[in-house]
Structure 1
Amino acid sequence: MKIKNKRAKKITLIISCVFLGYVLWLLLCPVEIVAVHENRHFSSVLVNNFPLTTKGKIDWWLQNKEMLKERYDIPKPAYYGDFSVNFWLFGDGYKEEGKYDRRCFDDMKTKVNCIEKNIVFSVSKSENLGVIFVVENGIYRIDKNGKIAKVNID
């Protein structure tokens, strides 16, 4: 009986360590920006290893918005100040349009210019709402005090 318990404990410990290692790898793996596509004041950023949590996504934007401006000149606000930046998972890379409802980029002059529609994060700014963040579990905005708050939609 003791041998079975020791073996079960060892197996549980190994599985736990592998799981913890995987979670740490996901959390520490840097975001990879594969490409940026633009259409006036709308930008699409193709990424790998994007943060998994809402807080992680918003924090990543806040920490990297200057880098995005310097390296990629995004966002590019319209003359009235509005902009939109969508972050898409690059996944298996560019594909032909073929399949229904892929996101294709007209700035690429090739048939292989589409990705699967797997949006993971969106940031936009408008005169009425200010800066808003759209994630899978809701919409957040920066309030007048500079704090991030979830927008209640009724």
Structure 2
Amino acid sequence: MKSIYKKYFLLLLIIICILFYYIFIVNHRPVEIVAIHQDENYSFVLVKNFPISKSNKIAWWIENKDSLARQYGIPLPAPYGGFSIVFFSISKGYKEKGKYDRLCFIDMKPPKNCIDKEKIFSVTYSKNRGTIFTVSSGEYKIESNNKIKKVN
């Protein structure tokens, strides 16, 4: 019987270590902004170590939007006020155009001026909808009570 308890204890210890790693290491790494590309009122931000959860992505944006404006001049709204900022993972670096689903930047010289489209987060603003946050699970908005609500 003791060997069964040892196996369960070891399994529990491994699970706790994985959770610790995720919560305290992966989710709290500083975000690294590698590059920003601008195309009119669209900003493309290439990042490493972006938060994983929806709420941490939105919290990161709220905490860093003023410094992004100061340091990088984004967002750059259109004359009507709308803007779009899309965050892409750049973990694999710039690539040549070759592959079908790559985003290429006109402000860089080819051949290595493209990235794989690993979209991880976006922030858009329009007068009709307000500020919308898009993640893989859908669109979200911050309500007046500071609660995050899914947009239908």
Question: TM-score, normalised on structure 1?
Answer: 0.89
Q: Which residue of 2 aligns with 1:27?
A: 27
Q: Distance in 2 between matches of 1:5 and 1:30?
A: 41
Q: Distance in 1 between matches of 2:102 and 2:35?
A: 16
Task: Return closer, same or farther for 1:62/1:107 CA change in 2, 3 Å cut-off.
Answer: same
RMSD: 1.8
Q: Distance in 2 between matches of 1:10 and 1:146?
A: 41
Q: Distance in 1 between matches of 2:27 and 2:38?
A: 29
Cα contact 2:35–2:46 (8 A) shared by 1: yes
3-state SS of paired residue (2:113): strand
Cα contact 1:130–1:142 (8 A) shared by 2: no
Task: Return closer, same or farther for 1:17/1:146 CA change in 2, 3 Å cut-off.
Answer: closer
The percentage of aligned residue pairs carrying the same residue is 48
Q: Distance in 2 between matches of 1:140 and 1:6?
A: 44
Q: Distance in 1 between matches of 2:63 and 2:87?
A: 15
3-state SS of paired residue (1:95): coil
Q: Alpha-carbon deviations, 1:92-146, whole Å to 9, x = none?
A: 1000010111011110013101111110111011121111111111111244566
| Residues matched between the structures, number | 151
Task: Return closer, same or farther for 1:12/1:34 CA change in 2, 3 Å cut-off.
Answer: same
1:12 paired with 2:16, answer no
Give the residue type in structure 2 aligned to 1:140. Answer: Y
Q: CA deviation at 1:16?
A: 2.6
Structure 1: state its 5+ residue gaps.
none
Give the residue type in structure 2 aligned to 1:27. Answer: N
Q: Distance in 2 between matches of 1:84 and 1:9?
A: 49
Cα contact 1:102–1:116 (8 A) shared by 2: yes
Q: Distance in 2 between matches of 1:79 and 1:147?
A: 30
Map residues 68-79 of structure 1 onto 2, 5 A cutoff.
68-79=68-79
Structure 2: state its 5+ residue gaps.
none
Cα contact 1:125–1:131 (8 A) shared by 2: yes
Task: Return closer, same or farther for 1:17/1:147 CA change in 2, 3 Å cut-off.
Answer: closer
3-state SS of paired residue (1:50): coil
3-state SS of paired residue (2:81): coil
Task: Return closer, same or farther for 1:128/1:144 CA change in 2, 3 Å cut-off.
Answer: farther
Cα contact 2:28–2:51 (8 A) shared by 1: no
